[in-house]
A and B are shown apart, each in its own frame.
With several copies, the nearest count.
Chain A
Amino acid sequence: MDIKKIKATIECLLFVAGDPVSLKDLSSVLEIDQVTLKKIINQLKDDYEDGTRGIKLVEINGSYQLCSKPEFYDFVEKLLKPKAKTGLSQASLETLSIIAYKQPITKSAIDLIRGVKSDACITRLLEKNVIKEVGRMDGPGRPILYGTTDTFLRLFGLKSINELPPLKDFE
């Protein structure tokens, strides 16, 4: 694998992971020794310093993570602030609507619909008390089933779950 492709793969891995990934894990996935890999990562770090990049590579305790450059924070705030009224990101709202319409539903079924992991959203919705565990599905691993709570109904001004508008009204 040439150095360009290695850099691209690292970017891809860090992007999808979201969380910090250790040098050790990167090294074993890419099958490149840690010393060489570290050199490449340091090069990559410099690449991100280019003025056209909005993200950067940070090192935390021997792990690496992509994060947004702080100088653009004002724009981020401008984009996300209108969404702060519900205190839920678009992703969490999406997850919530899937749960509302398809309850009871497992996490993996939600992941499949959204095409992305929903762990963080589910944790957040549980914290906000708009969803709850409603049981477990029969079958291997007995995965948790989620459903909406009374808080959800109150928050969205619904008397009961049957009052949800039919799905076609969306979009």
Chain B
Amino acid sequence: MSINIKLEIFEGPFELLFHLIEKAKVDIYDIPIAEITDQYIEYLNMMKSLDIDLASEFLVMAATLLEIKSKMLLPKAPKNNEVEEDTDPREELVKKLLEYKAFKKLSLVLKERLNINEKALCKDSSLADEIIDSFALPDKLSIELLIDKFQTLMKRRESYDNRNFGKIYRDNFTVEEKISHILSILATADILYFDDLLINCISKLEAIMTFLAILELIKRRKIYVEQSGNFDKIVVRRR
């Protein structure tokens, strides 16, 4: 008997089986297993003769089909216990085929949905970016602002320093020291005023170290600085 199928490449053994079952116009619950197995193997041989590589799954299915075929040829074993139900050897295969078929149908429904919905386009959200930009005080800008403010404060300090001429100060402040100082204040207080921090410094060097510490903390993203209005106090907060 010759089978009459076009040379089709099947994705997997289930697809091939469906094709054969449809071709034979038989009920999936009552597959003529001998006939379908022969056609299945014939197809594999044809592919082999054409030097087409077949995935190992095709061979596994061939073995399964042959096993079912042989089971169906065997005379039914006499019932000797109740556990051994009279099961159809095709049952497991049919169950799998039906499950696969359900998903196959479903995927067609999904495909339709995809064809429609992938044409619904969202908007480019650059607008949100622009707005966010407008109120995010970028670190670069705030640093310029800080430097400006620092310079004004230093000028004020200079006059203050002159009045205290003659005093001896501790002169060995480090940035790291100032960093832990600022962080220790912010560990208990929610906010800290930039002005107060600098005005309370005893020497110019200490003020510079404090300022550098603030810049470093901004860079490390430990703090952020903000100013609500043009002439408002600059507030330092923990991030």
A94 to B61 Cα, complex, angstroms: 20
Stretch at the interface among B133-141, B166-174, B197-205: B133-141
Contact B103–A98 (Cβ < 8 Å): yes
Known contacts A87-B133, A114-B12, A120-B126: A93-B102 contact under CB 8 Å: no
Set of chain A residues within 8 Å of B150, measured between Cβ atoms: none
Segment 38-89 of A: residues with Cβ below 8 Å from B: 56, 58, 65-70, 73, 76-77, 80-89
Contact B132–A88 (Cβ < 8 Å): yes
Residues of A contacting B: mostly: helix
Set of chain B residues within 8 Å of A171, measured between Cβ atoms: 98, 101-102
Chain A CB within 10 A, most for which of B96, B116, B118 = B118
A94 to B14 Cα, complex, angstroms: 13
Set of chain A residues within 8 Å of B125, measured between Cβ atoms: 17-19, 89-91, 116, 120-121
Contact A93–B111 (Cβ < 8 Å): yes
Is A115 an interface residue, CB under 8 A from the partner? Answer: yes
Contact B120–A165 (Cβ < 8 Å): no
Residues of B contacting A: mostly: helix
Is B155 an interface residue, CB under 8 A from the partner? Answer: no
Chain A interface residue count, Cβ-Cβ cutoff 8 angstroms:
54
Is A108 an interface residue, CB under 8 A from the partner? Answer: no
Closest beta carbon of chain A to B19's beta carbon, Å = 13
Set of chain B residues within 8 Å of A58, measured between Cβ atoms: 120
Is A155 an interface residue, CB under 8 A from the partner? Answer: yes
Set of chain B residues within 8 Å of A56, measured between Cβ atoms: 120
A113 to B11 Cα, complex, angstroms: 13
Contact A86–B98 (Cβ < 8 Å): no
Proximity string of chain B (85-109) to chain A, C-beta cutoff 8 Å, 1 when within and 0 when not:
0000000000010111111111111
A170 to B101 Cα, complex, angstroms: 8
Is B128 an interface residue, CB under 8 A from the partner? Answer: yes
Set of chain B residues within 8 Å of A124, measured between Cβ atoms: 126, 129
Contact B110–A157 (Cβ < 8 Å): no
Is B187 an interface residue, CB under 8 A from the partner? Answer: no
Contact A97–B129 (Cβ < 8 Å): no
Contact B118–A85 (Cβ < 8 Å): yes
A sample of 4 more A-B contacts (CB under 8 A), given A94-B104, A155-B114, is A73-B121, A80-B131, A115-B100, A165-B109
